[in-house]
């Protein structure tokens, strides 16, 4: 299985390249990334996301609903389980979409951490704990991308 940098995979899927880049993963295809999520992403992907968002790991664990002791065990094992990996990828995909719509990681960071009227005055980052909340955030980003006031 050939491994390339995430930017090399950009031509095959912008979604793959953006999320994989944020997580500092190397993947050549969506299938390869899917297999990595199924087998559990490395703990370093979790740390990469906290670094990109400039938040404490404890803040991100709240989004995942993972107790601090579990995070400590994952750090020791250097690997997340498949469910945690899926949640991590979901957050990274949404961050990638925010970067694409807003133009920079700095603007995306601020937007994700600021209460949003279109989301019931909740912070977008706090809604990423469920698939429904993630879809709401992605919908607002789509509206922003197309210039629809919300």
pLDDT number for residue 16:
64
| Direct distance between the N- and C-terminal alpha carbons of the chain, in angstroms, rounded to an integer | 44
Residues contacting 100, CB < 8 A, separation 6+: 14, 18, 145
Residues contacting 88, CB < 8 A, separation 6+: 23, 41, 45, 46, 49, 64, 80
What gap in Å lies between CA 1 and CA 142, rounded to an integer? 34
pLDDT number for residue 27:
82
| Contact criterion met (CB below 8 Å) for 27 and 9 | yes
pLDDT number for residue 13:
52
What gap in Å lies between CA 137 and CA 76, rounded to an integer? 32
What gap in Å lies between CA 138 and CA 102, rounded to an integer? 13
pLDDT number for residue 17:
77
Instruction: Please give the distance of CA 57 from its chain centroid, rounded to a whole number.
Output: 13
Q: Parse the chain into domains and list their residue ranges.
A: 6-145
Q: What is the pLDDT along the chain (150 residues), one digit of tens a residue?
A: 333 334 334 344 556 678 999 999 988 888 999 999 999 999 999 999 999 999 999 899 988 888 989 999 999 999 999 999 999 999 999 999 999 999 999 999 999 999 999 999 999 999 999 999 999 999 999 999 998 866
């Amino acid at each position: 299985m050939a491994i390339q940098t995430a930017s090399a995979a950009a031509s095959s899927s912008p979604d793959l390249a953006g999320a994989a880049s944020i997580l500092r993963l190397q993947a050549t295809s969506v299938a390869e990334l899917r297999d990595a999520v199924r087998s559990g992403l490395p703990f370093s992907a979790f740390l990469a996301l906290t670094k990109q968002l400039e938040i404490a790991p404890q803040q991100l664990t709240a989004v995942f609903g993972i107790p601090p002791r579990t995070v400590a065990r994952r750090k020791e094992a250097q690997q997340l389980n498949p469910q945690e990996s899926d949640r991590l990828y979901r957050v990274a995909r949404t961050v990638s979409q925010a970067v694409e719509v807003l133009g920079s990681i700095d603007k995306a960071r601020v937007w994700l951490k600021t209460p949003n009227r279109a989301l019931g005055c909740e912070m977008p980052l706090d809604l990423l704990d469920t698939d429904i909340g993630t879809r709401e955030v992605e919908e607002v980003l789509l509206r922003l991308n197309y210039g629809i006031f919300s």
